[in-house]
Amino acid sequence: MIGKNWKKLLTKSNYLLGLQCHKLVHVKLYDKERIPSPDDSTMYRFEAGNIIEAMAKTLFPNGIDVPRDDFVRNLELTEELLKKRLSLFEPSFKFGQTYSRGDVLVPVGENEWDIVEIKSATKVKDINLHDVSFQKYVYENCGLKIRKCFLMYINKEYVKHGAIEADKLFVKTDITKEVGDLSVGIEERIQKILDVINNEIEPSYEIGNHCSDPYNCPIKKECWADLPNGNILEFYKKEKIQCFDLGGGKLIKIPKVPDFYSEGKNPIQKKMTAIRMGENFEKHVFQNFFQNLTYPIYYLDIQTINPAIPRYDGMKPYKKIPYQISIQIQEYKDSDLTSVSFLAEKDEDPRIKFLNILKDTLGDVGTILVYDSTKEQSILKGLAWTFPDFKNFVGNITSRIKDIWGVLENFHYFDIDGNLKSHIKYQIPKLSNINHESLNVRTGEDRGLDFEKIIFTDEEIEISEINETRDKLEKEGLRDSRDMSKILEVFYEISKN
Ligand code: SF4
């Protein structure tokens, strides 16, 4: 029975955690304090997920919400409500030590049911199939006859015109076959995880790609704490697979990477070679970079948000909305910078204003320097698709964009002894004399979250709070664009060596 053994119940979310890592599910059940509380952006994503779920449920007429706040009551109510043969939201079932609560159960015919799981993603993922296969296992063992399984998720091709149409915003895909395939061997998988959670001794572990797949593990900091600076896992994600394979699960500090891995042309190999030869930059790349710069130089930073539910007409789900531009203009080498800044107001669609400000500021000539051109190019091309009148203008400015990240990403320049990550947050303190610690550089996601909190809310917010947030965002944007000019100065000095 549930009683004092409640923590040993294998819920759907614990099953999924257990599939990712046995240690993780054990810590969650026996030593939860080690798991940090979700940060603001995670909480925000939860809330956004709840809004999406509520919208999807409107597509099931006469559906009954089974209250989820009381665990035992939810089980009892589910049993009672099944007899009504109506769609049930959040029904729960317990079979032995397993417990599952899904999103929707839909009655079919006289005695069958369909499972519908709602997700805020735009495609079916393996983890979703495991999720539904666990539900099906528990439901069927509780005596339910399951006919089909569906995943309901965001239709990325939906374009908003007027009010959101829930029936077009979501797509429903039949995943019965895939779930059936995964049901093979599910008992063994469940038993393995039950063995872990029934044992008070924490299982041993090895770090690996599973630490961020399918989710970033919340205790990664703890398990990865002993890694030395400059270890090869500081390469970006695409390199990690090779890194783990290389050491058979063991970690290798960069200077100790075997020679066979130091040959070839990909970034990690180039870096190995350069370390052996004691060089940390490629002169010809720098010379080429400077030959292709034309003054005036515009240091451009664009910040965006990408809400799942489109906010403005002509938008698709998760399309980026630029809400902030920060530009520093340098007319000629060593001249002072002049700055232009724009931060969208509440209740306005910022996109046209954004394009007009760029048009007025960037002129027809001069290099537009950004940190990562993939981001800026995709924002601008997305806007040109929505507003074809700006197509020529966008064509002009995208052809003038160059980025700094390419130099760092491809290790044309790097810090041999330090952190190898190429994000501006790590590069700035190395490439300039700015005291990085005092800057408290925040991610674009955190900044976007601050913006959404003051813009897309029905709550009353004090004007002083709004002004404080706006002021902070504007300062951060201008600082980013100014930092790019400082990196360029450093590159220039390096290229003279
Ligand atoms: S960091 Fe990796 S090894 Fe450690 S608990 Fe998480 S998934 Fe498991």
pLDDT at 151: 98
Question: What's the mean per-residue pLDDT of the chain?
Answer: 84
Specify whether 273 is located in the same domain as 298: no
User: How big is the chain by its Cα radius of gyration, in Å?
Assistant: 27
- Do both 157 and 231 map to the same domain? no
Strand partners, 322: 304
For residue 296, what is the domain's CATH number? 3.30.420.10
CA distances from 211 to 19, 40, 129, 224 (A): 11, 21, 20, 10
Using one digit for the tens of pLDDT, what is the confidence trace for 270-313?
Answer: 655 655 555 556 666 777 788 889 999 999 999 999 899 998 89
pLDDT of residue 262: 47
What number of other Cβ atoms are within 10 A of residue 279's Cβ? 12
Cα 191 to averaged position of ligand 1 atoms, centre (Å): 20
Total-model pTM: 0.80
Assigned token pair, 423? 């994000």
CA neighbours closer than 13 Å in the CB half-sphere of residue 44? 18
How far does the centroid of ligand 1 lie from the alpha carbon of residue 217, in Å?
A: 6
Predicted confidence band of residue 2 (pLDDT cuts 50, 70, 90): very low
Residues 411 and 438 in one domain: yes
Residue 472 near ligand 1, beta carbon < 6 Å: no
State how far the Cα of 197 lies from the Cα of 31, in Å rounded to an integer.
Answer: 12
The answer to whether residues 63 and 24 belong to one domain is: yes
Distance CA 382, CA 315 (A): 9
The string over 70-98, giving b where at least 16 C-beta atoms fall within 10 Å of a residue's C-beta and e elsewhere, is eeeebbebbeebbeeeebbbbbbbbeeeb
- Does 260 score more than 70 pLDDT? no
Q: Does residue 213 sit within a domain?
A: no
Residue 246 inside a domain? The answer is yes
Q: Let me know if residue 135 belongs to a domain.
A: yes
Atom 3, ligand 1: residue with shortest CA distance: 207
DSSP letter assigned to residue 227: P
Contact 186, 134 (CB under 8 A): yes
Distance 208 CA to ligand 1 centre (A): 8
Report pLDDT for 424. 55
pLDDT band (50, 70, 90) for residue 241: very low
pLDDT digits over 407-425, tens only?
666 555 655 455 545 555 5
Quote the number of domains for the chain: 3
- From the CB of 333, is ligand 1 less than 6 Å away? no
Q: Tell me the per-residue pLDDT of 115-171, one tens digit each, with 9 for 90 and over.
A: 999 999 999 999 999 999 999 999 999 999 999 999 999 999 999 999 999 999 999
The reply to whether 266 and 308 lie within a common domain is no
Ligand 1 close to Cβ of residue 25 (< 6 A): no
- In single-letter form, the type of residue at position 77 comes to L
pLDDT digit string, tens, across residues 345-375: 887 889 999 999 999 999 999 999 998 888 8
- What's the pLDDT tens digit per position in 438-485? 445 677 788 888 888 888 777 788 889 899 999 999 999 998 888 888
Whether residue 374 sits in one domain with residue 317: yes
Q: Is the CB of 24 under 6 A from ligand 1?
A: yes
Q: Can you give the residue range of the structural domain that contains 254?
A: 227-279
Find the range with the poorest average confidence among 43-47, 48-52, 180-184. Answer: 43-47
**Per-residue pLDDT, 74:** 92
